[in-house]
Amino acid sequence: MEKKKTIIALLTSGFLLFAMVVVNLIVTVTDHNKTVWATNTTKSPYENIDIKTRQAKEKQYHLAFQYPVFKNASLNKNFEQYVKGKETDFLKEIKKIDEKKLMKEPASLSLTFELIPAGGDVYSILINEKTYVTAEKSRSSAEIFVIDIEDGAFAKPSALFIDPDKASSALHTPVDLKSSTLFIQKNMVVFLNKHEKREGSLPIKKVAPFLKKEWRDRFSFEESEEKTAAGEKVKKIALTFDDGPNPESTEAILATLKKHQAKATFFMLGNRVERYPELVDKIVQEGHEVGNHSWSHNDFTKLESADVKSEIDRTAAAVEAAAGVSPLAVRPPYGATNENVNEVIGVKPVLWTIDTMDWKSHDPKAICAIVKKEAKDGSIILMHDIHQTTAEALDELVSSLQKQGYEFVTVSDI
């Protein structure tokens, strides 16, 4: 009915400009009038989701659509539009085929779907499309969307990422995240190849910093304790570098970390991120974590809440722009915090358990001595990547602890 009303409105408007559109619409409507639908709605295994089946058997074509119906109206509208678009394209395509040929061998379009619970209200939905126009023009394809059945959010998987290209290379995903071939199941992101075959997976916790905030907030990140093959717990240490990035010393630190295949966390200052975005990107691409250390290194306990928020938000935006990742871990300058600050930050601040005093001693030997003396499983070591002497201490520091069986991880992995 809605379509017919539109057509009448357009016809009476008398604008020549609309002539083409009107002709197009009439064709569609005529086709629809010809199509006789059998519709049926059944329950799905999931709460608040029904399955709608619509079938039409015409002399020249068959249509079979099966798609979910949700409680959320805007989500349903999205799906109706999606299905409608597929139908319109199909009918347009068969218009080009000889009618007699179609009478002998009807064309067909079928749409079926699979729902994959991602946790909470979020589902991945895989839509399989099978098209048969002629023997040469038969094909099947699949498309995936991620949806929130409560608030109606609907997105292609690539649209979940701040920057799908940067995320693909930093996470070494087996598929290009831009091509949307992934789904989320429980706490895992599963990657599919062109033939919809499983190519690998990653815990969503690893992927989380690369997700846009509105999507990241929809998932839960369960901790899993890593065990070695022998079943014993891995001894872990988190190296953290504050106040950078700084071209020379940060580069030197990155080279040492790479040499030892060690991961670390860089708590950056927003104003330096803005100055050295390529260096931030490099840090992320090499598998390290970026944390938020404020924009200008002011004591948060002496600032107004609004200013604390601005220091955090500006820095986060700069890191996202530079590297396609959110700095989820926050370390307030000087480790200075209180209840009010924590509330504004919204996460538990990451402090440290070992202070190397590198900013004071500027002595690689002294830095190493402190770490060697105090290191234990779960230590978080405070250093600063703005000092060349810290960079010089790192090789010996990492080698000696690796010899003792320590693994160097990011603060989110400790």
Binding site for Zn ion (CB under 5 A): 242-243, 333
Q: Which is nearer to Zn ion, 146 or 316 (CB)?
A: 316
Please report which helix (H) or strand (E) contains residue 407, including its range: strand 406-409
Going by C-alpha positions, the residue among 160, 263, 265, 173 that lies closest to residue 219 is: 160
Q: How many CB atoms are located within 10 Å of the residue 296 CB?
A: 13
Distance CA 231, CA 194 (A): 36
- SS3 for 385? coil
**Catalytic residue from among 243, 281, 293, 384:** 384
**Closer residue to Zn ion, CB minimum distance, 157 or 333:** 333
Instruction: Find the shortest distance in angstroms from Cβ 336 to Zn ion.
Output: 10
The minimum distance between CB 334 and Zn ion, in angstroms, equals 7
Report the C-alpha gap between 350 and 220 in whole angstroms: 20
Torsion-angle region of 231 (φ positive above 0: left; ψ -120 to 50: alpha; else: beta): left
Nearest-approach distance from CB 242 to Zn ion, in angstroms: 4
| Whether the bond into 245 is cis, omega within 30 of 0 | yes
Work out how close the CB of 303 gets to Zn ion at its nearest, in angstroms, rounded to a whole number.
15
Residue 217 designated active-site? no
Give the pair of three-digit tokens for residue 412. 């989110």
Distance CA 55, CA 304 (A): 62
Longest dimension (CA), the chain: 89
Least Å distance, CB 404 to Zn ion, is 28
Contact 362, 368 (CB under 8 A): no
Comparison of 242 and 392: residue with beta carbon closer to Zn ion: 242
At its nearest, how many Å lie between Zn ion and the CB of residue 268?
10
Query: Judged by CB, which is closer to Zn ion: 24, or 296?
Result: 296
The encoded tokens of residue 216 equal 């990241």
Task: Specify the residue, 211 or 411, whose C-beta has the smaller distance to Zn ion.
Answer: 411
Token couple for 120: 């909470």
CA–CA distance, 367 with 397 (Å, rounded to integer): 8
Nearer residue to Zn ion within complex by CB, 46 or 359:
359
32 carries an active-site annotation: no
d(C-alpha 6, C-alpha 94), whole Å: 25
Cβ distance to Zn ion smaller for residue 170 or 393: 393
Report d(CA 140, CA 102) in Å as an integer.
19
Q: What is the DSSP letter of 413?
A: G
The rounded distance, in Å, linking the Cα atoms of 265 and 237 is 11
Q: Which residue is nearest to Zn ion (CB)?
A: 242
Minimum Å distance from CB 300 to Zn ion? 11
Q: Which of 148, 242, 243, 395 is catalytic?
A: 242
**Helix/strand/coil for 269:** coil
**Catalytic center residues:** 242, 384
